[in-house]
A and B are shown apart, each in its own frame.
Chain A
Amino acid sequence: DAGITQSPRHKVTETGTPVTLRCHQTENHRYMYWYRQDPGHGLRLIHYSYGVKDTDKGEVSDGYSVSRSKTEDFLLTLESATSSQTSVYFCAISEGEKLFFGSGTQLSVL
């Protein structure tokens, strides 16, 4: 499973509250990614990181921020959650051209 752990696995929150999702990896991978999965859309890239403190935006970055202060941790923050951010969030790492995914976080914003 490429040593990827996501927490929490499930979260329910209210509109307007901040939410942080955590991705932890144990194998010193340089590249880490946050995707969201929605029916009919497949996976869409939110943000990615190519090293400590090095991050860039993906396709659907509005409303999200990320931080990577250590190689092993990549945090995704929703500053003020909205109902449109209800989704399943996946963290991934890459080895060469291959992506390996965590088990996901189901986030519900009510």
Chain B
Amino acid sequence: GEDVEQSLFLSVREGDSSVINCTYTDSSSTYLYWYKQEPGAGLQLLTYIFSNMDMKQDQRLTVLLNKKDKHLSLRIADTQTGDSAIYFCAESIGGGFKTIFGAGTRLFVKA
């Protein structure tokens, strides 16, 4: 079945770049997403990429998609303490009811 996997923890120093990785299994994914969750809050859509794209850049965020390896990454440039959160990778194979989430990567940013 469909599965999305990501590492559980990442620790970086403030000002460094963070790279959060994700692998997925369903090659028919249409969209791939990164959501951010801050303590006590719901998930917030950070960015997303259509499956026919290789890269998407949005200010400090860069998403890379390798369809051959089914690998998605999120790079955060100049990481700040406010970036500390849980980041969820997700794939959609057709509508919100077919969105599969990874377990989340907790990003710690050290000052």
Mark A residues whose CB is within 8 Å of B. 4, 31, 33, 39-45, 48, 56, 58, 90, 92, 94, 97-104
Contacts and interface: CB of A to CB of B under 8 A. Distances in A.
14 contacts: A4-B42, A40-B103, A41-B103, A42-B4, A42-B88, A42-B104, A90-B43, A94-B95, A97-B30, A97-B95, A99-B43, A99-B96, A101-B43, A103-B42
Contact of A98 (B30, B40, B45): B45
A48 B103 contact: no
Q: Name A's interface SS.
A: strand
A8 B41 CA distance: 14
Interface in B81-102: 88, 92, 95-97, 99, 101-102
Contact of B96 (A4, A41, A48, A103): A48
A42 B45 contact: no
A1 B71 CA distance: 29
B48 A101 contact: no
A90 B86 CA distance: 15
Contacts of A4: 42
Given A44-B101, A92-B42, A100-B45, 17 more contacts: A31-B95, A31-B96, A40-B103, A42-B103, A43-B43, A90-B42, A90-B43, A94-B95, A97-B31, A97-B92, A97-B96, A98-B45, A99-B45, A101-B44, A103-B40, A103-B41, A103-B42
A63 to B, nearest CB: 19
A104 B45 contact: no
Most buried by A among B42, B48, B92, B95: B42
